[in-house]
Chains A and B, each alone.
Chain A
Amino acid sequence: MAIPDSSSSTAYVLVTEDDESVRVALQRGLTLHGFNVEAVADAEQAIQRIGRRRPDVLVADVGLPGISGIDLCGRLRALDIDLPILILSARDQVTDRIAGLAAGADDYLVKPFDLDELSLRLRALLRRARTSPHGATSTLTAGPLWIDIDRRVAHVDGKSLALSRREFDLLATLASNPGIVLSRIRLLEIVWGYDFEVDTNVVDVFVGYLRRKLEALEAPAMIETVRGVGFVLRAS
């Protein structure tokens, strides 16, 4: 059982879940874990709440009636609302979860999950949202890649690279350690703040997104998979 820590005791979590029993249970459970929780049943209510008061983190079920959890992510990102989002999925289909991440979510959990696991991930996402995972250097150059950490912009050969928050953090982490192989666990720790054991393939999914976006700008293949270890960015 996680002990509520004072740093996130005031963190405001918005839960969007259509199943009443799950919604009530999450509201109670997360409240006991020290979060300030509000829970709504559909995406429209969620958008209204967010409009009134911006939550620190959003938990959204994929299978919401009307506007789905994935569409909700897409709409918030389109409105430039950059809060951390964690997607809950009750479906086995990988495509659902991947679609959530592609729409701008930061991570996903498949039902049924442990309340402690959800709580730990939310806390980690909140920590990362407040601090930058990178050092003091404000700009980085690696081969054709140029990154401005403070302004959160990245360019390849002068062409602008449109990245989600998590994609940017992942690319900046890899670029600030050129030639150094970073394990999945280390990347989860640095980029997602998961300093606990976690069962997720979110790193692989986001590396896939980065590669596709770099390829779309005709950049050379820079992010290599080191089998059995992790990933490395090669600047040459």
Chain B
Amino acid sequence: MRLSTRTGIAAFAATSVALLISGLVFQAQFGRVLQARVDDQLESRADTAPILVAIADRLERSELSGTVEGTRVLADGRTIEFGLLPDDSLPAISAPGWETVSADGERWRLLTIEVLDVPRPGDRALAQLAAPLGDVDSQARALRRRAAMVGLLVALAAGLGGYLLGRIATRPLTALRNDADRLDDADPTTWRVARVYGSPEIDDVASTLNHNLERLADETERRGAALGAARAFAASAAHELRTPLQSAMTNLDIARNQQVDPTMRAEVQAITHEQLQRLASSLAAVKALADAEFADPAWFEPTDIADLVDAAVAGEIRRSDVTVEIVILPTTTSEPINLWRDGARLAIGNVVRNALLHGRPLVGAAGHVTVTVDGRRVTVEDNGPGIPLADRDRMLRRFERGPGGGSGLGLAIAHQVAVAHGGSATITSNDPTGTRVVLTFAHDAEPPLITG
């Protein structure tokens, strides 16, 4: 039911009840006033009672019925009636006092008076004076009818007034409703209701609605971006895995061929093995990248970053003749910091491995890599040929390979892990030659849901 209809009905009902109660009170009071007037008349007739008793046995009712008010006299055990009385018999006269009885379909008011010493001393008689209440009752009825009719009209007018006032009062709400209805056709990410409707309560509702729409839009956008990232990731990953698989399959097909000589067969088998290794390392890298992309806050734990760097470097250095120096700056406290330990170790390891593989000087001097830990920042510097300025950002993107080959994922994983820590990876040039990669594990905050 519409709010304005409700206010209309409420006004109608409240007015009706008020009018009914005041009408009933008024009518009761009016009835009492009219009846008191009849009682006054009966009392004024009381003086005539002894005369009527005295002449009662000589009166013929029919003679006086037109001129004398209705009266009954009980004397010597006999009841004499005369004047205007109902045709139905009235109850027997019993004791002095007031009575109201029904007879002939209307109410009668009776006053019974004791008359002593008439006509002879020692005589006792009762005189009952009667007056019909018909006029009084019909006046009360007429008043009731009129009051009811006026009351109904007033209540209807009150109801209509309530409805119209309700319409005006609920106008801001209706405007909000109309705006909200448009949500069905509008773009929920950009559509908002107005901020001001002219009523503080409605403005509050509108503000809450808008706030929730904004949250919905943010959530939709985040989900869309996450879904897009996941799709792009899956497509790239599939591409990356299918290529070595293709090479391995084709080489196996060649190896099966009867016409192939033993030298070539050995060669294609070696290539197959190499491609399967490439496939395996691509799989591991893709898994690591997926982990970094959708890092879980639960993976973060207090970690000694200097120990972590030491372990990551030790894991890479075995395979290399390049010298590696680890420098821990005084800014690095022994206080553990919150890190995703496996991710950070993999990230540091990848950067160090990159420096060991691709960071050797092309001629002359021996390769040298310095790993510096400065608080939450890990810097890896080499003395190799360096990476051209134009290629530096590209090298951080996934499936982008440098001239030295590789999976194209090592630095992308390092970057993604740093981003999962709310930090970043940057590539700059080292002085006087070489590459400097800085990994920043920014803060303890929870990683963002969507990264990169």
Contacts and interface: CB of A to CB of B under 8 A. Distances in A.
Are A and B interaction partners? yes
Interface of A: 1, 19, 21-22, 24-26, 28-29, 32, 63, 90-93, 110-116
Contacts of A26: 250
Contacts of A25: 246-247, 250-251, 254, 268, 271
Contact of B256 (A1, A24, A92, A112): A1
Residue of A1, A19, A22 ringed by the most chain B CB atoms within 10 A: A22
Contact of B243 (A90, A93, A113, A114): A90
Contacts of A114: 249, 253
Contacts of A113: 246, 249
A115 B253 contact: yes
Interface in B252-296: 253-254, 256-260, 264, 268, 271, 274-275
B253 A111 contact: no
A114 B252 CA distance: 10
B405 to A, nearest CB: 10
B235 A112 contact: no
B93 interface: no
Contact of B244 (A21, A29, A93, A116): A21
Contact of B246 (A90, A91, A92, A116): A90
B230 interface: no
Given A29-B253, A111-B246, A115-B253, 19 more contacts: A19-B246, A19-B247, A21-B274, A24-B271, A25-B250, A25-B251, A28-B264, A32-B254, A32-B260, A90-B238, A90-B246, A91-B238, A92-B235, A93-B235, A111-B242, A112-B242, A113-B249, A115-B250, A115-B254
A123 to B, nearest CB: 16
Contacts of B248: 112
Contacts of A19: 243, 246-247
Contacts of B259: 32
10 shortest A-B CB distances, which residue pairs?
A: A115-B253, A25-B250, A21-B247, A111-B246, A90-B242, A111-B242, A112-B246, A112-B245, A90-B239, A22-B247
B150 interface: no
Nearest to A117: B253
A147 B259 CA distance: 47
Contact of B249 (A28, A92, A110, A112): A112
Contacts of A112: 242, 245-246, 248-249
A92 B240 CA distance: 11
A25 B260 CA distance: 13
A117 to B, nearest CB: 10
A26 B254 CA distance: 9
B235 A22 contact: no
Contacts, number: 68
B249 A115 contact: yes
B90 interface: no
A91 B237 CA distance: 9
Contact of B253 (A24, A91, A116): A116
Contacts of A92: 234-235, 238
Nearest to A92: B238
Contacts of A91: 235, 238-239
A21 to B, nearest CB: 4
Contacts of A63: 239
Given A32-B260, A90-B243, A21 B249 contact: no
11 contacts: A1-B256, A29-B254, A32-B254, A90-B242, A90-B243, A111-B246, A112-B242, A113-B246, A113-B249, A114-B249, A116-B253
A111 B242 CA distance: 6
A32 B258 CA distance: 10
Residue of B242, B246, B253, B258 ringed by the most chain A CB atoms within 10 A: B246
A93 B238 CA distance: 10
Contacts of A29: 250-251, 253-254
Contacts of A28: 254, 264, 268
B275 to A, nearest CB: 6
B264 to A, nearest CB: 8
B106 to A, nearest CB: 93
A63 B254 CA distance: 24
A54 B249 CA distance: 29
A30 B264 CA distance: 15
Contacts of B242: 90, 110-112
A22 B257 contact: no
Nearest to B249: A112
B235 to A, nearest CB: 6
Contact of A22 (B246, B254, B258, B264): B246
Nearest to B239: A90
Nearest to B244: A21
A90 B234 CA distance: 12
Nearest to B278: A21
Nearest to A116: B253
Residue of B243, B250, B259, B275 ringed by the most chain A CB atoms within 10 A: B250
Contacts of B246: 19, 22, 25, 90, 111-113
Nearest to A22: B247
Residue of B238, B251, B253 ringed by the most chain A CB atoms within 10 A: B253
Given A1-B257, A112-B245, A22 B250 contact: yes
